[in-house]
Amino acid sequence: MYTEPRQIIDISKDYIKEINGLIQCLDMQKIIDIAYLIKESSLTIFCGNGGSYTNASHMAGDILINSPVEGNMFAIGDNLVSFSAYSNDISYERAMAEEIIKRTKLIKDCTIILLSTSGTSKNILQTAIESKKLGFKVVSLVGAYKDILEPYSDIIVTTKSLDAGFVEVVHDFVGHCLVRILNNLK
């Protein structure tokens, strides 16, 4: 068994304390409202970059497999061929928005869930703008900075941290909460 200096143990305890504090600050009513949007939508599309993309893909998969929701859902980027083609042929900044426009031509009741630890990603902003033009519901899960996405979001959930790692952990928690809530909605 390894024996770590007290400092390492304290760092770990501080991390747990910080995460717990951020989770305690979440507005659970907003998360319940998101669950209802997912339940009522015929299509839910999740979007994110980097770690937020992996959380978006994880959320889509967990909700699809582990909840009774019957609507279709996926994360932009799960089809790497289309995402890379849009990024190359149009621009990375517009890739998500263009894929949503193309995939939703015949769909009227779509919910777009955006994950951004910074809340300032240009491609996430473009996706929010286009989604609102299409009349879709937009949910944004962001870190402490919400000002850019808020005007285009029907629901915005903020994590009061500028640390991307903390925000990603909280977003993962939100995804697991959504599964539990969806399994208990009437």
Residue 103 belongs to some domain of the structure: yes
The answer to pTM > 0.75 is yes
Q: pLDDT digit string (tens) for 119-165?
A: 999 999 999 999 999 999 999 999 998 899 999 999 999 999 999 99
1, part of any domain: no
Domain membership of residue 76 (yes or no) is yes
Both structure tokens of 99: 């894929």
pLDDT of residue 59: 96
pLDDT at 77: 87
What CATH number corresponds to the domain at position 174? 3.40.50.10490
- CA 178 → CA 22, 31, 33, 38, 56, distances in Å? 17, 7, 10, 9, 12
Using a pLDDT cut of 70, give the percent of the chain over it: 98
Mean pLDDT, range 68-96, rounded to an integer: 89
Scanning the structure block, which residue is given the tokens 């909280």?
Answer: 170
* Domain ranges, residue 24: 6-182
Cβ atoms of 140 and 116 within 8 Å: the answer is yes
Please state the domain count of the chain: 1
Position 70 scores a pLDDT of 84
- Asked, for residue 140, whether it belongs to a domain, the answer is yes
In a domain, 75, yes or no: yes
